[in-house]
Amino acid sequence: MLADATPAGDVRGFVYAPETHLPPRNGKLDVGGAVGRGSLCVTRVPLEGGSLYRSVVPLVSGEIGEDLASYLAGSEQVPSVVGLGVFVEPSGRVAAAGGYLLQTLPGAAEEALRLLDETVRMAPPPSALVRESLGAATMLERLVVIGAVVAAEQEVRFRCNAERVAAAVLAMGVAELHDILASERRIDAQCEFCNERYALEEGEIRALLARAGAEV
């Protein structure tokens, strides 16, 4: 599985083997069984200056929420609660999906952490919360009984565009692009995230090379 996001709230992702089907485990989707063993790789690209951050940790269960919480607590030293849920209809259609991420701020009192842990344990499962179509603020009210103040809200949306496809084409390398110009003179690419097909003609390929500072 691969997912990426920007500070603007644009997200996208895809699953390499989307047709995986396993029997339910304890009445729930067996996500851990489908994911199996492996590693969680987190890469952060700085917006301005700074160096690339990359961390790789082993999966603890294959359950996405548990693995993310383990990474945040172990690698970033931030105690976190991650709850993810999917409500699937008998037909196999996904009717609702979502979840929450709760993190402590520096200096959080131990009593607040204990209360939060107890509240989350007693709360309905994430799949039940998303089935109710609860908004973020309402979900927080259910989970943070000590009082929640909404400081800001930001829309999160799936977005994929030709600019990202162009960046992927550039990653092929200057030599490969010159070879294409000498033969096919165009590139047909299909985005793995949205399945859209993009065609880059000779002029567009030359423009990409010029952007990369290469001879055209």
Query: pLDDT-based confidence at 146, cuts 50/70/90?
Result: low
Per-residue pLDDT at 95 exceeds 80: yes
CATH of region 2-158, choose from 3.40.50.880, 3.55.30.10, 3.40.720.10, 3.30.1540.10 = 3.55.30.10
Model confidence, pTM: 0.74
- For residue 80, give the 3-state DSSP assignment: strand
Decide which of 3.40.50.10420, 3.20.20.30, 3.40.640.10, 3.90.1280.10 is the CATH code for 162-211: 3.90.1280.10
Distance CA 59, CA 150 (A): 32
Please tell me the predicted confidence (pLDDT) of residue 58: 94
Grade residue 145 by pLDDT with cuts at 50, 70 and 90.
low
Q: Quote the CA–CA distance of 210 and 23 in Å, as a whole number.
A: 52
The model's pLDDT over 166-209, given as tens digits with 9 standing for 90+, comes to 777 777 788 888 888 888 888 888 888 888 888 888 888 888 78
